[in-house]
A and B are shown apart, each in its own frame.
Chain A
Amino acid sequence: MAVTDPISEGRLQAPFGQTILRVIATFGSIAVTMLGLLFVTFVIGRIMPIDPVLAIVGERAPQATYDAVYFDLGLDKPVIVQFGYYIWDVLQGDFGDSLLNARPVSEDIARVFPATLELATLGILFGILIGTPLGVLSAVHQGSWIDQIVRFVALIGYSMPIFWLGLMGLLIFYGLLGWVGGPGRLDIFFEDIVPTRTGMILIDSAISGHWDVFRNAFSHIILPASLLGYYSLAYISRMTRSFMLEQLSSEYILTARVKGLSERQVIWGHAFKNIRVQLVTVMALSYANLLEGSVLTEIIFSWPGIGSYVTTALLSADMNAVLGGTVVIGLIFVCLNVLSDLLYRIFDPRSK
């Protein structure tokens, strides 16, 4: 999937006096974006050739049952009226009930989102902790075999179909070697032991001191998390390299070198320090991408996350669930974007 790159959008710096106005404008634009997001999703839901009524009543329903559900859902009202009702409910924190399983969508999301959050967080940690040093290494040794290898490894990560890699990883590390846990979040032995607090099993088990559960959960999460981590590693190392190259070729680094600073100080103390903010932006974006939930990874690893939740809902025309999921994903995306934008504005060395 394409990854957005806010760096290329060199926004102009605003004078300090306008900061408060800017904050208001930022929140305004978040609100407008979210409203637009909801509206697009809503329209898609209405023009989809999948019949939500059929999704509920099943293929053999007599016409009377069908009609009853049709009116129940308010589908006889104009689309704009339906949208109005929906927005009103959302503002009150009510995403409606899932059409399919009749549960509140917010409850479903509270169940599936922590699963994705846990996976994405571990994945991004993996990506950052390995990707950043690799990127720096590669930039410092630009053109050498180290650089070539790092770039190649990153490109492989970029180019591999994840469903294939996932199945192969499962086959080798679980099926043949038994080093990691299988599909799912826990072995059956360990299910329902730890009380649900955050919904993230690693954290819940650590809080309650069930280290056996923690170990088991870790053995299940490690493979999908490393896969996702590999993908963000590819992006992060690549961007790190490119930022570092830019810094290393700049005047002040030359000056620093001339002054006789050690190579280590030059690289970590000066060049790397200057790209930290840009890096945070990249990381935030990678994180946002992972938080969308990788549908394919979730399917292969039977991971009940938000990606497969929204996809399943979409394919069965459960529009309340799709809308709810999209709002949550969109909100996270927008917030991370704004956050990194802010960081960029505040700390960008060029603005000083």
Chain B
Amino acid sequence: MSEQTLLNWLLTDEPTSRRHARLTRFYQGWLALRANTLAMLGLSILIVLTLMAILAPVLAPHDPFVQNLGNRLQPLGSTDHLLGTDSLGRDILSRLIYGSRITLYIVALVALIAPIAGLLVGTVSGYAGGWVDVILMRITDVFLAFPRLVLALAFVAVLGAGIENAVIAISLTAWPPYARIARAETLTIRSSDYISAIRLQGAKPLRIITKHIWPLCMSSLIVRVTLDMAGIILAAAGLGFLGLGAQPPSPEWGAMISEGRRFILDSWWVATIPGLAIFTVSLAFNLLGDGLRDVLDPKSRGQ
């Protein structure tokens, strides 16, 4: 297949198979996204971040854990330490690069756990209706009404400080909005002719939920997750800031800010650099999420 035929195949108005249709839609979405400069900027930042995480051992000029008390709090641009050194004389640039792994890890885990949990609760609630719906939605409300950081703090305190537990705690506070979105989508989908037809064909509820409702909820969830990513990174950093996230000597960015804030007045870069890193990545997720919303969100589609 030549390039031109592939393009034609992808852009056709008359898909020949379900897979073809899906690919066509995907490609058209991609084209729309590609036209959005800010979204592409976000995407490239995230690609760079991923590459940075994968290539950390190659990129980092120093071991991120090696201390040198005689060489602490070196300023920006000092020889051998481009971004200076921290309170224990560790190279900030190297810690920043290795820290990207932790950030990605947190983001990936929360992005897996919270929306899936929300999807599960929301679709079951919406599809089943009745008492199940009432009970599940009351539980969702309880978690929504909780002060979020307090809930996360409490879970971390129960589970013990550490990156995995921080992820679980954040997920526990992040799922309710997804549940509500998924429920709302399910309510509209459930009553559609399309689902009634499938039901008449004798499909079991489990199959209807997993095979037909879940795929339709996906796009709004993906948009929402991308937009929430920044919040998740900041929440993880907040936990790190309060000493309840990643454990030392882990170069988690929030913990780095927390360590560096003691020197904010004189050695401002120690806290500022990881602050900028968090900012950049959150911004990237937001830009991408905004772009994705324009492409995927049915409400704003077709403008």
- Which of A2, A41, A44, A329 has most B Cβ within 10 Å? A2
For residue A249, CB closer than 8 A to chain B, the reply is yes
For residue B112, CB closer than 8 A to chain A, the reply is no
A159 touches B157 (CB 8 A): no
B184 touches A164 (CB 8 A): no
A314 touches B231 (CB 8 A): no
A311 touches B149 (CB 8 A): yes
A322 CB contacts on chain B under 8 angstroms: 150, 154
Contact of B181 among A9, A249, A310 (CB under 8 A): A9
B138 touches A8 (CB 8 A): no
Q: Which of A204-212, A266-274, A289-297 contacts B (4 or more CB under 8 A)?
A: A289-297
- Which of B141, B153, B188, B241 has most A Cβ within 10 Å? B141
B149 touches A333 (CB 8 A): no
A315 touches B147 (CB 8 A): no
A152–B232 CA distance with the chains assembled, in angstroms = 19
A314 CB contacts on chain B under 8 angstroms: 150, 153-154, 157
B302 CB contacts on chain A under 8 angstroms: 249
Contact with A along B209-246 (1 / 0, CB 8 A): 00000000000100010001011101101100110000
Contact with B along A40-63 (1 / 0, CB 8 A): 110010011110000000000000
- Which of B157, B220, B265 has most A Cβ within 10 Å? B157
A4 touches B158 (CB 8 A): no
Q: Which of B47-55, B79-87, B194-202, B270-278 contacts A (4 or more CB under 8 A)?
A: B270-278
A159 touches B147 (CB 8 A): no
Q: Say yes or no: A152-B38 contact (C-beta < 8 A), given A2-B232, A44-B158.
A: yes
Contact of B177 among A5, A32, A148 (CB under 8 A): A5
- Tell me the dominant secondary structure on chain A's binding face: helix
Q: Say yes or no: A293-B147 contact (C-beta < 8 A), given A161-B234, A164-B272, A334-B141.
A: yes
B241 touches A159 (CB 8 A): no
A8 touches B228 (CB 8 A): no
A34 CB contacts on chain B under 8 angstroms: 145
For residue B146, CB closer than 8 A to chain A, the reply is yes
B293 CB contacts on chain A under 8 angstroms: 242
Of residues 322 to 336 in A, which have CB atoms within 8 Å of B's CB atoms? 322, 325-326, 329-330, 333-334
Chain A residues touching B, range: 35 or more
Task: List the A residue with the shortest CB-CB distance to B42.
Answer: A155
A171 touches B279 (CB 8 A): no
Contact with B along A146-179 (1 / 0, CB 8 A): 0010011001101111111001100100010000
- Tell me the dominant secondary structure on chain B's binding face: helix
> How many residue pairs, one in A and one in B, have C-beta atoms under 8 Å apart?
172
Q: Say yes or no: A10-B188 contact (C-beta < 8 A), given A33-B145, A40-B146, A161-B279.
A: yes
B265 touches A329 (CB 8 A): no
**Can you list 14 A-B pairs, Cβ within 8 angstroms, ordered by A?**
A2-B231, A12-B187, A29-B138, A29-B141, A33-B138, A41-B146, A49-B158, A159-B234, A161-B238, A161-B241, A164-B275, A167-B271, A292-B148, A329-B147
B-to-A contact residues, CB < 8 Å: 38, 138-139, 141-150, 153-155, 157-158, 160, 173-174, 176-177, 180-181, 183-184, 187-188, 220, 224, 228, 230-232, 234-235, 237-238, 241-242, 254, 257, 261, 264-265, 268, 271-272, 275, 278-280, 282-283, 286-287, 290, 293, 299-300, 302-303
A-to-B contact residues, CB < 8 Å: 1-6, 8-12, 29, 32-34, 36-37, 40-41, 44, 47-50, 142, 148, 151-152, 155-156, 158-164, 167-168, 171, 175, 242, 245-246, 249, 292-293, 295-296, 307, 310-311, 314-315, 322, 325-326, 329-330, 333-334, 337
